[in-house]
A and B are shown apart, each in its own frame.
Chain A
Amino acid sequence: MEYPLTRLDEKILSLKKASKKALVAYLVAGDPDLDSTLELMHGFVDAGVDILEVGVPFTDPIAEGPIIQAAHDRALRNNTSLTKIFGLVKKFRKNNVDTPVILMGYINTFLANIKALEESYVSGSDAVLIVDIPGESDLKNIGIKNTNLASISLIAPTTSKERISKICDNSSGFIYYVTLRGVTGSSNLNISEAESNINYIRSQTSLPVFAGFGIKTPDDASSLSKISDGVVIGSSLVEMINKHSRKKEFKKIYNYLNEISEAISL
């Protein structure tokens, strides 16, 4: 039986056809408010972003460094719930039907909204990236039955070879390689280690491998894009959003994304 291609599959296929590296951008929904998030999502796409990773705020985000933790706190002070985020994605889809949207967050908030989550594909969400579940676990086994949502898994420098193949077998969309030992926004990037690990992952799967955690400058992005199929930018964007959100001067953020986008297409 053949399945129709999903929005995420289509995007990855078109990037591959064009021999283009993917630019994935992360922001926290509701930071500083949902209207700004919607504006930023469209702005990101116009600035060259291929895939959007929308952070679902949680009170206890143990994989996040101080910058993204603070963004989660700000979003929670606005009572940003997963249900409201589904509404945000639905609004985004009114003007954008081809940029994949990945919901990134922690298992407890997803489980608390399981019914709405299972319906979220209909309103335009494409995948979940749940930071705190073992990568080899099937979403069905942890209570998420909607198979229309792709499940993006993380592989870390510490992941054993045995588990890498299990995680690859159980993933769809792409593999997210964590480039460092640490929380988001750290600065101990190790390119040569990343290269050999990404090469190994590629030997185990036909899925593209994107690299993230700790990418700050266009130079970081450029060197990582050479050894992977795409890069994820998170903390540096979240920091800029916070800095510029009061006056809504998002132009600087879009310029920064433009630079990254150019750096990875060289």
Chain B
Amino acid sequence: MDNLTNLPNSDGFFGEYGGKFVPETLMHALKELDETYSKLKNNPKFIEEIDQDLVQFVGRPSPLYFAKRLTDHYSGPQIWLKREDLNHTGAHKINNTVGQILLAKAMGKKRIIAETGAGQHGVATATVAARLGLECHIYMGAKDVERQSLNVYRIKLLGAEVHAVDSGTATLKDALNEAMRDWVTNIEDTYYIIGSVTGPHPYPMIVRDFNAIVGRELRKQSIEQFSQHPDAIIACVGGGSNAMGIFYPFLEESNVELVGVEAAGSGLMSGKHAAPLNDGEPGILHGAKSYLMQDENGQVIDTHSVSAGLDYPGVGPEHSNLKDSGRANYIAVDDKEVLDSFHLVTRLEGIMPALETAHAFAALDHIAKNYTSNQHIVINVSGRGDKDINTVATMDGISLD
């Protein structure tokens, strides 16, 4: 197998995926960002500043926790949880925004924009913008504004403006379209903090690198706590930033199974899902070549998932390459499995996962049986579920009014 850790190449490709497929106006800004990041990423002062923020502001390292009752439930491998839900603002998304806001600062940008689906990246961006006193605009699909109203209010409390996007399917992909249009228009003073390992080069690399702290901590913690690397790591995949962050430091450890879990929505066979790696074809959307949900004419198909954060027709280019190379496996679980899993984990462990994260837990029904009691599976608990209680209540047929 080729060395997967040295990707992307200088043009931004992971194998045949990735690249920079954007309107010409953005090309210069991407080059500027690439140069700034290349210069700063090995600069000791920059690294120290990020490390300090990660410890004192985010609360890192996040614990690696043994889920005893969940382990008993499956009566197979030991199940361990990497607790990204305990980060400040409640998800892994802050790892990336803490880093990118320092890039924005270094580039002298005064205005911050971002897209968000579940609202976690919106909150994480508004948080770091507030801390530096920068103007901040968050684009969010109108449908997501409705189903993630708690996060919308949090973003507003943090002083950012929320722009509800009505065009197209009014979800995450349309929020990304609109954020890109804003960026094209305000290119001189604006920094675009992309929230996942998607978009044009260098974003998939930058967002992965800032999230890779999760996998690096896990390498250390797993040795300390159970004297070996995990046998398998499971993470949910929408764009795929939490998965890429925890997978990346293990890419060369071929005995560690990497499992990404996509949203099967109403079921893979129904066509109403958000699982491009399971049921899509390579295509180009939002600046990168990657697996994509599209029809035979290259038009992007509407997606469906109970989880706003996974309700996206594309996926990060690096995941596409990991799929083709066989280094990672990608499965999909449907909305019903996710809801069951949400309740199971909440009751057994006293941990309420985000609906995105509940996809990773639901994969245990498929994966746990392949492992024995002396083996270790780590679930990346990418975020907490407080934001989702309205959705869960609706699915359970309960009114909270």
Contacts and interface: CB of A to CB of B under 8 A. Distances in A.
Interface residues of B, number: 35
A58 B299 CA distance: 6
Contacts of A208: none
Contacts of B344: none
A112 B24 contact: no
A261 to B, nearest CB: 27
A181 B188 contact: yes
B109 interface: no
Interface stretch (B43-51, B178-186, B350-358): B178-186
Given A58-B299, A158-B29, A107 B187 contact: no
Contact of A156 (B25, B173, B188): B25
A62 B25 contact: no
Interface in B8-61: 20-29, 31
Contact of A134 (B27, B283, B284, B286): B27
B179 to A, nearest CB: 9
Contact of B299 (A59, A107, A111): A59
Contact of B297 (A66, A112, A153): A112
Contact of A112 (B31, B168, B283, B286): B283
Contacts of B287: 132
Nearest to B26: A158
B380 interface: no
A243 interface: no
B282 to A, nearest CB: 9
B299 A183 contact: no
A96 to B, nearest CB: 26
B167 interface: yes
A115 interface: no
Given A58-B299, A62-B181, A109-B299, A154 B283 contact: no
Interface residues on A, range: 35 or more
A160 to B, nearest CB: 6
B222 interface: no
B296 interface: yes
B390 interface: no
A69 interface: yes
Interface in A58-96: 58-66, 69, 73, 76, 81-83
Contacts of B22: 62, 132, 134
Given A107-B21, A132-B21, A181-B185, A62 B27 contact: no
A82 B167 contact: no
Given A154-B24, A160-B28, A181-B185, A112 B298 contact: yes
Contact of A133 (B21, B168, B177): B21
B300 interface: yes
Contacts of B188: 181
27 contacts: A58-B298, A59-B168, A59-B299, A62-B181, A62-B286, A64-B181, A69-B167, A73-B168, A81-B297, A82-B297, A108-B283, A108-B285, A110-B298, A111-B284, A112-B283, A112-B294, A132-B22, A132-B23, A134-B27, A135-B24, A155-B24, A156-B23, A159-B24, A163-B28, A178-B24, A181-B25, A181-B188
Given A111-B283, A159-B24, A160-B28, 19 more contacts: A59-B299, A62-B177, A73-B168, A108-B292, A108-B298, A132-B21, A132-B22, A133-B21, A134-B20, A134-B24, A135-B24, A154-B24, A158-B29, A159-B27, A181-B25, A181-B184, A181-B187, A181-B188, A186-B185
6 closest cross-chain pairs (CB), A and B: A112-B298, A109-B298, A156-B25, A182-B185, A63-B23, A158-B28
